[in-house]
Amino acid sequence: MITVEEHRAAVVSGVAPLGVRRVALREALGCVLAEDVTASLAVPPFDNSAMDGYAVRAGDVAEAGEEAPVRLRVVGDVPAGSAERPEVLAGTAARIMTGAPMPPGADAVVPVERTDQPVGPGPGRQVPDAVAIHAPAGAHVRRAGEDVTAGDVVLRAGVELGPRHLSTAASTGHDTLAVRPRARLGVLSTGDELVPPGEPLGPGQIPDSNSTLLLTLAESLGATAVPLGSVGDAPEELRDLLADNLERVDAIVTTGGVSAGAFDVVKEVLGPLGDVTFSSVAMQPGKPQGFGVLSRSGDDPDDGPGDGDCDAERRVPVFCLPGNPVSVFVSFVVFVDPALRVMSGRGTPDEPASLRPVLLEAVAASGWRCPPGRRQYMPVVLERPADDRVLVRPANPRGSGSHLVASLAAADALAVVEADVDSVAEGDVVSVMMVP
């Protein structure tokens, strides 16, 4: 048996960051930026009004008051988006809306509330010939480049792009960004007993819950899930499905067929390919694991022309997880997620801190048994009593069982119990890892 750390090291060092790709802003959500972004546009791009009102020369209205309004001739109307540039000479004003460019000659804005004009639309739509100003002008002018000027670096390579970063890119003139793309993870279930969720069960059949689990885990942890379907226990079915799909994925995850059964098809098909190793990992659940690399040749149609890797051999990592559903969940969190992070540039094999950390210590509210010689990942429910403690208890009162998939829904976290611990007693302190 090998340790969890040994298997994880093999997995994260067996994958490589994906090639940089230029994608539309919305597609870049959650991706790591591959190069610094400089502003093509200043923000704001031009001097503009911060208020709906009248653009004036401040000196004209310096003495204005409720009792002593200053009357100005209105020489034009400048809604936001307008190309109009009426010149504001002494004794005149231009009506202006928030965000509209300041007209030449004007250096300040009087909000409409400080004039004799109606506020808002309706009668306010009509531009008047003249306006009475009841107060001196405030500044109310947002200067070009006040936020950033063209040429400023606005986003640094390496940042994980969220909505705020993407709006910065949009406002500074960009519609695409160069990123490490999301990994396209092909998801494949194996087993003659599987039927799609919701379908009636024949004798010995069960719903394929692992496909749903893996597809949605992948999507929620920043990959693009590619459903490859389910195959039975016939080796040629799996061989054909892999051959047909290697071109359209960056990695594959399989479930089932990796243990000691006579029909363990994943082991039978992938084992002889040479680059896939099957191991027993000292953990529970998730003991039987496979990992390796499948090779494919040719250019990736999604990389676009000119990326220079035409005809290069491409390597598709394959994670072979056991079939038991709780094992699948734990294996994904402990092995596949860190590897996907490396592939999408969100972590490196040398930086374990970037891998999902053990987050907190908690107190067992009830005891449970642990498997000898294997690190246990026990699905647990967190409880927070009035004091500062965090309590945990197994999500299923029967304790740990890699088939107890329905109880996974109740779990907030995995309690991580080291291999040399035989049992957890009520009151023991345990490490807890939050889970997606």
CA distances from 36 to 139, 174, 181, 386 (A): 35, 12, 16, 47
DSSP 292-331: EEEEEES--GGG-TT-S-TT-EEEEEEEEE-SSHHHHHHH
Write out the binding residues for ligand LQZAQKY5, residues 119-158 only, by CB under 6 A.
Answer: none
**153 beta partners:** 38
Position among 187, 264, 402, 415 found at the interface with ligand MOO (CB under 6 A): 402
- The residue count for binding ligand LQZAQKY5 (CB under 6 A) is 27
Contact range with ligand LQZAQKY5 by CB under 6 A, out of 10-18, 92-100, 249-257, 426-434: 249-257
Pick what 264 binds: ligand LQZAQKY5, ligand MOO, none; C-beta below 5 to 8 Å, kind-dependent. Answer: ligand LQZAQKY5
Asked if the peptide bond before residue 322 counts as cis, ω within 30 degrees of 0, the response is no
Which of residues 44 and 256 has its CB atom nearest to ligand LQZAQKY5 in the complex? 256
222: left (phi over 0), alpha (psi -120 to 50) or beta: left
Query: What is the enclosing helix (H) or strand (E) of 252?
Result: strand 251-255
Cα 340 from Cα 220, distance rounded (Å): 12
| Residue 255 interacts with ligand LQZAQKY5 (CB under 6 A): yes or no | yes
Cα 217 from Cα 223, distance rounded (Å): 9
Shortest gap between Cβ of 286 and ligand LQZAQKY5 (angstroms)? Answer: 7
Alpha helices in 55-197 (DSSP H): 163-171
| Residue 210 interacts with ligand LQZAQKY5 (CB under 6 A): yes or no | yes
Which of residues 91 and 227 has its CB atom nearest to ligand LQZAQKY5 in the complex? 227
Contact 223, 215 (CB under 8 A): no
Write out the binding residues for ligand MOO, residues 72-91 only, by CB under 6 A.
Answer: none
| Residue 322 interacts with ligand LQZAQKY5 (CB under 6 A): yes or no | yes
Contact range with ligand LQZAQKY5 by CB under 6 A, out of 63-71, 100-108, 148-156, 258-266: 258-266
| Residue 257 interacts with ligand LQZAQKY5 (CB under 6 A): yes or no | yes
| Residue 324 interacts with ligand MOO (CB under 6 A): yes or no | yes
| Residue 4 interacts with ligand LQZAQKY5 (CB under 6 A): yes or no | no
Cα 54 from Cα 49, distance rounded (Å): 9
CA distances from 289 to 109, 319, 357 (A): 69, 8, 21
399: left (phi over 0), alpha (psi -120 to 50) or beta: left
Interaction pattern, residues 274-313, with ligand MOO; x per rule: CB under 6 A: ----------xxxx--------------------------
| Residue 409 interacts with ligand LQZAQKY5 (CB under 6 A): yes or no | no
| Residue 254 interacts with ligand MOO (CB under 6 A): yes or no | no
Which of residues 174 and 287 has its CB atom nearest to ligand MOO in the complex? 287
Contact 238, 231 (CB under 8 A): yes
Residues that bind ligand MOO (CB under 6 A): 284-287, 322, 324, 327, 402
